[in-house]
A and B are shown apart, each in its own frame.
Chain A
């Protein structure tokens, strides 16, 4: 019965309801884009670390887990490897440089990441071969760069970095291609630590001798060991280090927290606007219907039916709005340039849609309450 009533009411006032659905659609578009933007920004920041097959990250102490400030030496790596419960460990180093192309393409800023070939930190590959120790001047790029620029395994690219007062150029050969791994807002170019040490921006062109320095050590634990126990063991055994899991490290990077907080605040406001708009619309609409609802109750319609019809109507309109909004997002997404860091993934979209589905009923609570409280006596022009 409530379905019968709500469907007919929506259908026969479809002009008005579709117009209102469009408002929900706009809110849907806003929420989905903000969510995708948050996701995209987060990915741009953290994708490399996310995809790292590591349980723990070891950094220098007293750097607030800041990856670019932290320095870790090769000796520390050996110490870490010797701790019981550590299955694998690898030293990683981060910096940035620029890929330049001779065929007129724009230069591309990249994150250059040094790893020890064969050790933890080397990405899984879609194509080509992994880095190998002897092969200096080989790199692995991510498929987004490969596709955008049109690079293939075996191609040579030129990497530019500032060393001393001059620009230095290095010819590097693409050994393999991995999936998308952005880091610090740039695509990753992965190379051996030796190569990295040679090509990274530095104060003087000559490669520094001595211990190879990295920024962090990625640690993979042996099966079944307790993470916090190993954490304790690492900190107690090795001097001047700090240990944290991946999420903690990501969240500690400068700018990451405020950026996500901004995005989340925008999402929150969009939801709030949704709740208020839905609330306002249905409240006005229900107030206009009071005499009609009184009449329906007077002729014997159960209060439950009236309430359920009100709720169903809100749900129908919200779903239509979300559908229209979803289609809108899809169409807009097709037209948005690649450079905008939008990333739609299933969990984000589902969470956003789930929350949007809730704003209807939450916003409509007041109007449902009004509908439930209408007295049948009003139909006859009296009140109790």
Chain B
């Protein structure tokens, strides 16, 4: 498998002087094509900041990021915009879809932005939406879709243009457990099938059942990487109360893992 993403000693410092916050601290990580990674960690640990840098939305304070061997540091603003639409697929926590476009149009938009012809765009968008079980909802507007359906449309959009890297920030935050689980499963299947590099930020360890690696961040640093499938299964099964990130001390390997802050049970669902 080829390396799709190479993160080397990346840091992000917000603010200056006394107000400086080191949100990401010397993070290094490689992700291969076809690999699906869960990025977990307590609130404020720097997950979103890291994701934003990988998405070429935010410049690292130090370190380098290569996606498909392209150095993000060397890109001007315009090139980064183009890079995002060509090489990166996104699902966001909220406001994923354009409200005045149908499900089909939201997905084909991604191809149209990349100058794919109208007919081909629609055909490909339809294909992937069908694959995600949305064949009945092609011409529905986002407001007519349930949270899970919306996330599936977003996933379709994140994958339809064959990006090298797919980034998902809490794709399940607004879903109930069963639906969230289904969404992640389909996401994982597609990433594996199509050979994309995928990174999913999540608070919910149960959602990590289908990932290849769990990367845990605390205070901007990667403190643990779990790639053993048995450990992953155990972790995701263990967290049976829907509690956010709570890695049991004994199952983790050598690293000493600081505990996350007390679980915030039943975070209000965000729409």
Contact = CB atoms under 8 A, between A and B. Distances in A.
Interface of A: 1, 4-5, 8-9, 12-13, 291-292, 294-303, 376-377, 379-382, 384
Interface in B50-107: 51-52, 55, 57-58, 78, 81-86, 88, 90, 92-96, 98-101, 105
Given A292-B98, A299-B90, A299-B157, A377 B84 contact: no
Interface residues of B, number: 33
Chain A binding surface SS class: helix
Contact of B92 (A1, A301, A379): A379
Q: Which 4 A-B pairs have the closest CB atoms?
A: A300-B85, A300-B84, A291-B95, A12-B100
12 contacts: A8-B100, A292-B95, A295-B98, A299-B85, A376-B81, A376-B84, A377-B52, A377-B57, A380-B169, A381-B48, A381-B92, A381-B93
Nearest to B88: A300
B22 interface: no
A299 B113 contact: yes
Contact of B81 (A4, A8, A297, A379): A297
A24 to B, nearest CB: 21
Given A295-B96, A298-B92, A382 B113 contact: no
Contact of A296 (B51, B58, B88, B98): B98
B124 interface: no
B128 to A, nearest CB: 15
Contact of B113 (A12, A295, A301, A379): A301
Contacts of A384: 58
Nearest to B87: A300
Contacts of B99: 292
A146 to B, nearest CB: 58
Contacts of A12: 100, 141
B49 interface: yes
A291 B113 contact: no
Given A291-B94, A380-B55, A8 B84 contact: no
B112 A4 contact: yes
Contacts of A382: 48-49, 52, 57-58
Given A8-B100, A292-B95, A382-B48, A377 B81 contact: no
